[in-house]
Amino acid sequence: MSGKLHFFLAILIVASVLGACAEKVEDDIEGKRKLAFETWMELYGDGATRLPTGVYVKKLSSSSESSVIKPPVDGNWVSLDYTGRALYSGNIFVTRDSATARLLGSFEYYTHYVPEFVKFSKTDTVGVIQGVYDALATMNEGDVVRAYIPPSLAYGTNGSSFSGGYQGQTSAVGGDVAIIMDLELKKIVADPVAYETEQVQQFAYNHWGKRVDDTIAKNVYRQTLELGKKDTLTVSDDTTVCVYYVGRFLDGFIFDTNIADTARKYNIYDSSIGTKYDSLKISTNGTDTSYIAGFYKAIVGMKFGETAETVFTSLYGYGSAAQTPDDGTWINPYTPLRYTIEVLHPNGEGTTLHPYNVTGFKEQRELEKGVWVRGYIVGAVEGSNVATDAVYSDTINVKTNILIADTRTASEAEKVIAVELPEGPMRDKLNLQDNPSIYRDQIEFKGDMAVYLGQVGMVNVEQYILK
């Protein structure tokens, strides 16, 4: 008899068993489901062993390691790879494997396709269904098994849904559905805190040669990658800074960044949040808790303009609870994190990425060439001196300059700088006499600092960006 005929007959048998449930409401529906499951297993179980709980397990492979770790015990944490599919339809509803996700069309670049790190506990089975727990109890570290799980030990009457890139060709498994779970027990961890501490210490030593004594806080390491171009001040524990960052796991996978070009490079750019790729403004005074603690630990002691990399345990990250956003990267419990951080002065650095604001421009002790400044157009100087001849209006009778400030309503010489508009297309497009509509628009200029119209301003403008 052919395999196809076997399968057809099995479906008929299962369907007839389940159909009998509909004939008499008072029948034992759960009993009929169990009978259907057992019938299917008898025909297609492929030699799987029935556990006392009703789960069937077939070992597919074992670790070649000589010192095999025994099955997990209650309270251990396990690193578990898996793919799940419905027993009768064969539809995959969840997978942690990137190759499988690509084949199914569910692959997401922001998804970290690694094993789930979950607690093995009979009383605390968050994230582990009973049937998987039963199968895990038979596995050694390195084992790969196929578990056949009846509905009552799977997702019950309600079923479950999956997202974040881990869903399969379907994003849900219905209620009262028997399932097949292919499981690989990657690692058994008795103490997750000690385990991740060791990971962080090894990373710091292997990459930077740092030892335990080289920490800036317990289990927090930092390595300078590049100092700023200026001999700037060190960030204290009561400082406001601007930060650009790239967040990674220890394996290098990027899960978050506020650098637009980096996000585009790794296909995780998100255009739905307009400010996502602005610099973060962070205060280190201890009252700001908007970001993870590792940020603050790493930033204190850096210099303005410095780029450094830091690595730390989950104590300073997301702790013992998984982070599971629908449209962001899943972060396992007890996950060490590494960040590349660039610390910038809140008033800017004069660079393309982080221009001076007007306050920062005026704070500079030396006149610099080829710097960027950002501000709002607030008027112009109709004379030779900002202090006495400034006009804060969109009605202007001069084309040679404009005034910019940090706020749209500034009207004092101490809060503005004058920018000389070079003759030609730039002057034609930016002078307020001919272009009153740009009044109070934000603009960026690249040019040279110089004494202009009685105070420090900008001349020799090369480029501009009108926001």
Instruction: Report DSSP letters for 109-165, one per residue.
Output: TT---S-EEEE--SS--TT--HHHHHHHTTPPTT-EEEEEE-GGGTTTTT-EE--TT
SS3 category, 218: coil
Q: List the one residue out of 157, 129, 144 whose CA is nearest residue 54.
A: 129
- Tens digits of residue pLDDT in 351-395: 888 899 999 999 998 999 999 999 999 999 999 999 999 999 999
Domain housing 175: 46-190
pLDDT band at 68 (very low <50, low <70, confident <90, very high): low
Q: Residue 63's pLDDT is what?
A: 76
Indicate whether this model's pTM tops 0.85. Answer: no
**Residue 177 sits in the same domain as residue 50:** yes
CATH number of the structural domain spanning residue 429: 2.40.50
- Tens digits of residue pLDDT in 142-163: 999 999 999 999 999 999 999 9
Q: Does the pLDDT at position 18 exceed 90? A: no
| C-alpha span between 37 and 88 (Å, rounded) | 9
Question: Which amino acid type is present at position 323?
Answer: Q
Q: What b/e readout covers 303-319, taking b as 16+ CB neighbours within 10 angstroms?
A: bbbbbbbbbbbbbbbbb
Q: Does the pLDDT at position 15 exceed 80? A: no
pLDDT band at 69 (very low <50, low <70, confident <90, very high): low
Average pLDDT over residues 106-130: 88
**Residue 147 sits in the same domain as residue 210:** no
Q: How many CB atoms lie within 10 A of CB 369?
A: 10
Comparing 16 with 65, which gets the higher pLDDT? 65
3-state class percentages of the chain: helix first, strand second, coil last, to nearest 5:
25, 30, 45
Residue holding tokens 């930077």? 208
| C-alpha span between 351 and 323 (Å, rounded) | 35
Q: Residue 65's pLDDT is what?
A: 60
Q: Residue 324's pLDDT is what?
A: 84
| C-alpha span between 142 and 133 (Å, rounded) | 16
**Residue 75 sits in the same domain as residue 173:** yes
Average pLDDT over residues 332-344: 96
Q: What is the mean pLDDT of the chain?
A: 90
**Residue 179 sits in the same domain as residue 240:** no
Backbone angles phi, psi at 442, to 5 degrees: -85, 145
Comparing 399 with 285, which gets the higher pLDDT? 399
**Residue 280 sits in the same domain as residue 419:** no
CATH number of the structural domain spanning residue 160: 3.10.50.40
The residues, ordered by sequence, that sit 6+ positions from 8 with a Cβ below 8 Å of its Cβ are none
